[in-house]
Amino acid sequence: MDKLIALVTGANKGIGKEIARQLAVAGHTVYVGSRDADRGKEAVADIDGDARLLVLDVTDAESIAAAAGQVPALDILVNNAGISVTERTEVTEETTETFRRLYETNVFGLVAVTNAFLPTLRRSAHPRIVNISSGTASLAASAGQAAGIIAFASGPSGALGAYRSSKTAVNELTVLYANSLAGQNFKVNALAPGARRTNLMGPAGLASPRAGDPAEGAAGAVRLALLPDDGPTGGFFSWDGTPVPW
Ligand code: NAP
């Protein structure tokens, strides 16, 4: 395979760092997106291969514009940067401030970054966009129609409304971008990486016995990032490649 150029947002730790590592190990050039330069430098130093720091805060228009100006060519964009909450609060108790904060990063940030890098991606022969979603985004799971398919979503609870609905928006955006970019050889897909031991939900998430290795979830993103031209677009896939019900 040709040497490709990728950008992973929020790649200084967690699943994003593992995605960056795996793409670099596979021989590709990887821009390690990090909103904090020092945290990004540490991640770059920890990754073997052609990894480059790209300071990028997905909620900051100036930061996005500056980052886009530093990337002359790009084949793969992985929209990984995301935030959640540390408490599994019921939606009935969640504040609109929480919704705004999570949507700012998980939804508006994804749109802003994607649109800023689209002109560069359009010059690629095989452009790929991978949106890191969540099994908890599945409407089918929330409605109790996907029992046993998405372990972490664990059925029709009303918790984590801001986070889950932000990722449902990511799923819809995945389909809309795939539709808009159809016929231009783009593949735009969403990934449910599975429950992983990361900082996303604070110490409880890191310690959760239900959470697995972030590298395993990252491998699912790498698969979607390196899809062949006859691969799927506008889909929602689990880390192991199986389709997830919307
Ligand atoms: P994580 O370890 O907390 O990593 C999140 C990354 O996003 C960090 O690098 C963080 O940077 C970055 N980030 C947050 N806000 C940002 C901003 N405004 N601009 C740029 N970067 C920003 O969590 P993770 O579990 O690896 O999460 C990665 C993705 O996987 C997220 O989209 C998450 O929703 C999704 N996901 C995770 C799980 C799971 O079980 N862990 C399950 C399903 C989906 P800082 O270090 O600067 O905060």
- pLDDT value at residue 121: 98
The answer to whether 244 touches 44, Cβ cutoff 8 Å, is no
- pLDDT value at residue 189: 98
- pLDDT value at residue 156: 66
Task: Indicate yes or no: pTM above 0.75.
Answer: yes
Q: Which residues are catalytic?
A: 163, 167
As a whole number of angstroms, the distance between CA 160 and CA 86 comes to 9
Calculate mean pLDDT across residues 82-100.
Answer: 95
Is residue 207 packed enough to be buried (19+ CB in 10 Å), middle (13-18) or exposed (0-12)?
exposed
Q: Which candidate, 62, 71, 82, 61, places its Cα nearest to that of 32?
A: 71
Calculate mean pLDDT across residues 192-211.
Answer: 88
- Over residues 36-46, the pLDDT tens digits come to 999 999 999 99
CB 131 less than 6 A from any atom of ligand 1: no
CB 13 less than 6 A from any atom of ligand 1: yes
Q: Which of 107-116, 148-157, 235-244 has the lowest mean pLDDT?
A: 148-157
Per-domain boundaries in the chain: 5-238
Q: Which candidate, 47, 53, 40, 65, places its Cα nearest to that of 7?
A: 53
Pick among 1.10.10.10, 3.50.50.60, 3.40.50.720, 3.40.50.300: CATH of 5-238: 3.40.50.720
As a whole number of angstroms, the distance between CA 59 and CA 144 comes to 33
Calculate mean pLDDT across residues 216-230.
Answer: 98
- pLDDT value at residue 149: 54
Nearest residue (by CA) to ligand 1, atom 6, is: 10
pLDDT reading at 136 higher than 70: yes
CA of 132 to the centre of ligand 1 (A): 9
- pLDDT value at residue 205: 77
- Over residues 154-197, the pLDDT tens digits come to 556 889 999 999 999 999 999 999 999 999 999 999 999 999 99
CB 161 less than 6 A from any atom of ligand 1: no
Inter-CA distances, 20 with 34, 39, 159, 197, 221, Å: 12, 14, 31, 17, 10
- pLDDT value at residue 208: 81
- pLDDT value at residue 214: 97
Residue whose CB lies within 8 A of the most ligand 1 atoms, among 80, 85, 236, for a mutation test = 80
Where do runs of H (alpha helix) occur along the chain? 14-25, 37-46, 61-68, 96-103, 109-121, 139-142, 161-180, 203-207, 214-225
Inter-CA distances, 126 with 61, 112, 230, Å: 27, 21, 11
- Cβ neighbours around 188 below 10 Å, total: 27
CB 68 less than 6 A from any atom of ligand 1: no
CA of 239 to the centre of ligand 1 (A): 16
Nearest atom in ligand 1 to 11's CA: 9
CA of 14 to the centre of ligand 1 (A): 7
CB 105 less than 6 A from any atom of ligand 1: yes
As a whole number of angstroms, the distance between CA 19 and CA 180 comes to 26
Nearest atom in ligand 1 to 15's CA: 26
CA of 183 to the centre of ligand 1 (A): 31
- HEC profile for 73-117? CCCEEEECCCCCCCCCCEHHHCCHHHHHHHHHHHHHHHHHHHHHH
CB 101 less than 6 A from any atom of ligand 1: no
- pLDDT value at residue 165: 97
- pLDDT value at residue 135: 93
